[in-house]
Amino acid sequence: MQETFDAPDPRRFEVSRATLWFDRLMGWLIRCGGIAVILAVFGILYFVAKEVVPLFRGATVAEAGSAQLPPDAKVLGVDEWGTTAFSYHGGSTVHFTEIATGTRHEHSLAGFEDADITACSFDPVRARVAVGTANGRVGSFVVRFERKADDSGGFEVVPRVESEPWFRLEHGSGSVTAVSDGDSGATRLVAVKRGEGASANVAILRLGMKRGLVGKGKLTLLGEHDVTPLLGSEARLLRASQNGMAALIACADGGVRYLLADAGGVSLRQTFEPFADSVPLSMDFLFGGVSAILTGPGGIQEQWSLFRGSEDAERLFGRTKSFPALGDAVPVFAASQRNRTFLTSDDDGGVALRHSTSGDTRWEGEVGIDPALAVMDAKGEHFLVADARGGLRRFHVHDPHPEAGWRAFFGKVWYEGGSGPVWQWQSTGGSDDFEPKFSMMPLIFGSLKGTAYAMLFSVPVALLAAVFSAAFLPQEFKRVIKPLMEIMASLPSVVLGFLAGLWLAPILETRVPSVLAILVLLPLTALAAGFLWCRLPIRVRNRIAPGSEWWLVLPVLALAGWTGWIAGPLVESWCFTCTDPATGGTIADFRLWWPQATGTAFEQRNSLVLGFMMGFAVIPVIFTIAEDALSNVPRSLTSAAAALGASRWHVVRTILLPVASAGIFSALMIGFGRAVGETMIMVMATGNTPITEWNLFNGMRTLSANIAVELPEASVGSTHYRALFLGAVVLFAMTFVMNTAAELLRQRLRERNRIV
């Protein structure tokens, strides 16, 4: 005890354990936090990309049960949920087979008892089987399914069969050899062939529903038209379209006839020869009834669609796509009732799911049997194939994004109804059979166009300002102007967008010539002012300190602006006169002149307005970074140049600009990044039409605006939703590449200046 008074306890100099422990804890915490933040940053890319990946996956197909049908089925169908198959064999009964259990039961068709069926066909959209008999009668029946909850909590599918009236054909003789039925819901069209060979006869029946006040209407014959004389050759394949208005008939001479039915009767609109003089092996309409898939000799598969060749021409068929060849056998075909996917088989038992929009094969594989019939269910979740002996297999299809793919997003696609392959974005349409158009290209183009016009205005202003501020501006003004620019950079873009769309656009709409005049006058007057100023006597110039040019030029600029504004209408009346379509007189109006002179549109919300307003967002960004780069050029260099007698502009041109060039370049790239990603100005000032034109006087739709406008309404997980995410990834990639390059450049510049 006594010794402690002599020497201090060595423990006094030890750091307290709590401190050490706390230090370690904090160090650990901060490391974790820091790394977590950095991970979060990369998580952004991960989560956005995760939503996009499923777009580029093909379909997955898995076998889901098999069953045995009676052999030699003529027609194979299935219910909406893919649980119960039905087959028709040409008698007075329909066979239903539950695939899960294999149980089979029959339904007899009323009115079919004494019919000798010689031809039949199936329309999966209406679940209707059309039949023809040996004595020249045409009839049909519809299969309906109802889902009822059963006792065990599951569902039971209850089928029902409804026979429809018979119609006796007036034209031709002999038995019916082919029949095809199309139904628009209001009218039906039945194409019927009687007899074979040279005596064969083709008639088209038009049927209509007479609507009663109560209950279902009565099916009546609107007319029977003998079209044999129109064909001029023996018909081989008949296909009525799903809209009940048209039929395609492939004839023995290889020509396919396009017949259109309307109130006036049936007329031949077009004859096309898809495979020279060979008859197509198969010919089937796709979902929507606008396109048909034709298979030719050797299994060449082609899509023919209705479109207008020119603005006022009639809608006729034309070849829009070809698919890989299948082989010589007649392929089995089944179209989806949800989208433009179709199933087709090749000659050695393989089956492929193809999508007509992108032309991609979604899935290819073996089904284990030699398919003779195939059908896809209404939800697009299953397809069924059956062989000639009645072996049936069910396959489950998982293909949530059939419209997607590299070609659909970035390639030119020939959409239905279009007159050529185009880049187009149109995500939603009015009807169920709308073909969505998901090309990223018009949006990327729009982003680049908006950015280009923004940069065209901002870059000169920002760089000139940066040079003056870094090289000539006295320090006391610089202290005010730099923060002013910083505040300008942080202006909410929604305010800029609103000003552009609601305030500036209406003003500039009638004053385009004035704006153009000002754009030319401003730089010229500034140059002229400088030219005249330095010719003033030195005594006058000495009164003004160097670096004051920025306010000396102010009245000159004001004068130039005023002159331009006034001169605009004069310029308009000299240069931009055109004939007024309303009165026929001559009128000086740029808004009318521009479309007449260039053939492109003039819109109120155009790139001119956009470019100017984007300046408020982009100029401060470029200015700040470029100014920093210019200010950081070592003073020894500029002073040396000045000491050697270079004029002040000479110093800027030969020393300042070359040394800071990398920094200026990085400023431009960061400005580009800011402009590409700008959203609110783009949404509010561009009109948002996805067009691909460089026209200064119309708008665009940018990637960013597209996301902001459409994402709140896209349903989660849909192709549309994921396509918008893809847009975000593209946007991210564009700015990421630009910013990284800019950052690397800036770092290199810093190194170089250190060496200097």
**461 sits near other proteins (criterion: CB under 8 A):** yes
d(C-alpha 712, C-alpha 426), whole Å:
16
State both tokens at 308. 């207008």
Report the residue number, 67 or 655, with the smaller CB distance to other proteins: 655
Considering the complex, what minimum distance in angstroms separates the CB of residue 522 from other proteins?
7
Among residues 256, 448, 463, 745, the one that binds other proteins under rule CB under 8 A? 463
Considering the complex, what minimum distance in angstroms separates the CB of residue 438 from other proteins?
16
DSSP letters spanning 610-657: HHHHHHHHHHHHHHHHHHHHHHTS-HHHHHHHHHTT--HHHHIIIIIH
Report the residue number, 632 or 692, with the smaller CB distance to other proteins: 632
Tell which positions 211-250 bind other proteins, by CB under 8 A. Answer: none
Residue 753, number of CB atoms within 10 A of its CB = 17
C-alpha distances (whole Å) from 91 to each of 173, 174, 368, 438, 751 are 22, 19, 29, 47, 89
Provide the sign of the torsion angle of the four alpha carbons 680, 685, 687, 688, taken in this order: negative
Tell which positions 340-399 bind other proteins, by CB under 8 A. Answer: none
Tell which positions 498-527 bind other proteins, by CB under 8 A. Answer: 498-499, 501-503, 510, 522-523, 525-527
State both tokens at 487. 């505040």
State both tokens at 578. 């055109």
Nearest to 55 by CA among 411, 425, 440, 405: 405
Are the C-beta atoms of 145 and 157 separated by less than 8 Å? Answer: yes
Distant-in-sequence, close-in-space partners of 640: CB < 8 Å, separation ≥ 6: none
Report the residue number, 69 or 656, with the smaller CB distance to other proteins: 656
Among residues 84, 341, 469, 719, the one that binds other proteins under rule CB under 8 A? 469
Report the residue number, 421 or 460, with the smaller CB distance to other proteins: 460
Considering the complex, what minimum distance in angstroms separates the CB of residue 674 from other proteins?
7
Considering the complex, what minimum distance in angstroms separates the CB of residue 80 from other proteins?
23
d(C-alpha 175, C-alpha 167), whole Å:
14
Among residues 61, 178, 462, 617, the one that binds other proteins under rule CB under 8 A? 462
Among residues 623, 667, 698, 723, the one that binds other proteins under rule CB under 8 A? 623
Report the residue number, 31 or 160, with the smaller CB distance to other proteins: 31
**47 sits near other proteins (criterion: CB under 8 A):** yes
Among residues 267, 580, 640, 752, the one that binds other proteins under rule CB under 8 A? 580
Site string for other proteins, 21-40 (x = CB under 8 A): -xx--xx-xxx-xxxxxx-x
Among residues 51, 226, 347, 693, the one that binds other proteins under rule CB under 8 A? 51
**316 sits near other proteins (criterion: CB under 8 A):** no
Secondary structure string (H, E, C) spanning 310-376: CCCCCEEEEEEEEECCCCCCCCCEEECCCCCEEEEECCCCEEEEEECCCCCEEEEEECCCCCCEEEE
Among residues 111, 309, 324, 474, the one that binds other proteins under rule CB under 8 A? 474
Write the Ramachandran bin of 46: left for phi over 0, alpha for psi from -120 to 50, otherwise beta.
Answer: alpha
d(C-alpha 188, C-alpha 205), whole Å:
8
Q: Which segment (204-212, 378-386, 409-417, 528-536) binds other proteins by CB under 8 A?
A: 528-536
Among residues 56, 574, 649, 694, the one that binds other proteins under rule CB under 8 A? 649
Distant-in-sequence, close-in-space partners of 756: CB < 8 Å, separation ≥ 6: 634, 636, 637, 659
Q: Which segment (143-151, 254-262, 291-299, 641-649) binds other proteins by CB under 8 A?
A: 641-649
Provide the sign of the torsion angle of the four alpha carbons 163, 167, 168, 169, taken in this order: negative
Indicate the helix (H) or strand (E) that contains 182. Answer: strand 176-183
Report the residue number, 168 or 650, with the smaller CB distance to other proteins: 650
Report the residue number, 396 or 591, with the smaller CB distance to other proteins: 591
Tell which positions 593-622 bind other proteins, by CB under 8 A. Answer: 615-616, 619-620
Considering the complex, what minimum distance in angstroms separates the CB of residue 388 from other proteins?
47
d(C-alpha 266, C-alpha 247), whole Å:
10
The gap between the terminal CA atoms of the chain, to the nearest Å, is 68
Report the residue number, 587 or 601, with the smaller CB distance to other proteins: 587
Tell which positions 557-576 bind other proteins, by CB under 8 A. Answer: 557
Considering the complex, what minimum distance in angstroms separates the CB of residue 678 from other proteins?
7
d(C-alpha 240, C-alpha 227), whole Å:
14
Report the residue number, 384 or 465, with the smaller CB distance to other proteins: 465
**485 sits near other proteins (criterion: CB under 8 A):** yes
Q: Which segment (175-183, 304-312, 403-411, 669-677) binds other proteins by CB under 8 A?
A: 669-677
Considering the complex, what minimum distance in angstroms separates the CB of residue 636 from other proteins?
12
Among residues 132, 244, 673, 690, the one that binds other proteins under rule CB under 8 A? 673
| 3-state class (DSSP) for residue 109 | coil
Considering the complex, what minimum distance in angstroms separates the CB of residue 413 from other proteins?
25
Considering the complex, what minimum distance in angstroms separates the CB of residue 152 from other proteins?
22
Number of residues that bind other proteins (CB under 8 A): 140
**670 sits near other proteins (criterion: CB under 8 A):** yes
Considering the complex, what minimum distance in angstroms separates the CB of residue 693 from other proteins?
23
Residue 483, number of CB atoms within 10 A of its CB = 10
Considering the complex, what minimum distance in angstroms separates the CB of residue 434 from other proteins?
25
Question: Phi and psi at residue 218, in whole multiples of 5°?
Answer: -105, 135
Considering the complex, what minimum distance in angstroms separates the CB of residue 91 from other proteins?
47
Nearest to 686 by CA among 446, 511, 444, 445: 446
Beta bridge partners of 386: 373, 392
Q: Which segment (84-92, 118-126, 418-426, 643-651) binds other proteins by CB under 8 A?
A: 643-651
State both tokens at 498. 């609103």
d(C-alpha 90, C-alpha 70), whole Å:
12
Report the residue number, 422 or 456, with the smaller CB distance to other proteins: 456
Report the residue number, 289 or 727, with the smaller CB distance to other proteins: 727
d(C-alpha 112, C-alpha 139), whole Å:
9
| 3-state class (DSSP) for residue 457 | helix
**744 sits near other proteins (criterion: CB under 8 A):** yes
Considering the complex, what minimum distance in angstroms separates the CB of residue 615 from other proteins?
7
**103 sits near other proteins (criterion: CB under 8 A):** no
Considering the complex, what minimum distance in angstroms separates the CB of residue 496 from other proteins?
8
Tell which positions 538-557 bind other proteins, by CB under 8 A. Answer: 538, 541, 545-547, 549-554, 556-557
Among residues 110, 388, 528, 559, the one that binds other proteins under rule CB under 8 A? 528
Exposed, middle or buried: residue 38 (CB in 10 Å: 0-12, 13-18, 19+)?
exposed
What is the CA angle 601-603-609, rounded to 5? Answer: 125
Considering the complex, what minimum distance in angstroms separates the CB of residue 602 from other proteins?
15
Amino acid at 416: E
Considering the complex, what minimum distance in angstroms separates the CB of residue 564 from other proteins?
13
Among residues 352, 454, 676, 723, the one that binds other proteins under rule CB under 8 A? 676
**651 sits near other proteins (criterion: CB under 8 A):** yes
Tell which positions 678-737 bind other proteins, by CB under 8 A. Answer: 678-680, 683-684, 704, 707-708, 711-712, 716, 724-725, 728, 731-732, 735-736
Exposed, middle or buried: residue 472 (CB in 10 Å: 0-12, 13-18, 19+)?
middle
d(C-alpha 50, C-alpha 55), whole Å:
10
Are the C-beta atoms of 619 and 627 separated by less than 8 Å? Answer: no
Q: How many helices (H) and strands (E) does the chain have?
A: 20, 32
